[in-house]
Structure 1
Amino acid sequence: MAKATQVKHILGSAAHAARAFELSVGDDPAVAAEHIARARAHARPIVVDVLRRYPPAPAGGGRVGELIRRLDVSLR
């Protein structure tokens, strides 16, 4: 069964990396946005195909959850 929480497993590593980069420069949201844009640009069509089988990423999860949702929306 496709559950929204599984989207975290698909996109979570990119979101965690974006957050780490963001924190490494003093909590700059522009750095995370740049990393999310790069992750979006490098995503293969198969990633989009798989994501479309799942509901959108769920609410919550703090800043990483926000980045997951941002990447999810940009890929769909």
Structure 2
Amino acid sequence: MGHILRAAASAARIAELNAGGDAAAAERAIDEARRRATPTVVDVLRRYPVPPAARNRVSELQSALDAALRSSG
């Protein structure tokens, strides 16, 4: 699942860091990634198991995006 979502999660983390650690910047980036995801991406993602508990901030953001995409549609 990481190969599908890690780039978007990393971009969200960079946005957060560029905003002085403002978590809202990461949330906006995650929301934008969710809106851009095609139905095909969501379908493929749902074939993978739910990821394990997050171990770092990028993993947390990746899990947030994963949850948002799985619940969409």
Same fold (TM over 0.5): yes
CA distance in 1, matches of 2:24, 2:41: 24
Aligned pair 1:26/2:20, yes or no? yes
In structure 1, list runs of 5 or more residues that go unmatched: 1-6
Give the alignment partner of residue 42 of structure 1, picking from 15, 32, 36.
36
Q: Residues 1-42 of structure 1, C-alpha deviation per residue, up to 9 Å, x if partnerless?
A: xxxxxx111100000000001001101000000000000001
- Percent of paired sites with the same residue: 54
Aligned-CA RMSD value: 0.8
State the 4+ residue runs in structure 1 displaced beyond 4 angstroms: none
In structure 2, list runs of 5 or more residues that go unmatched: none
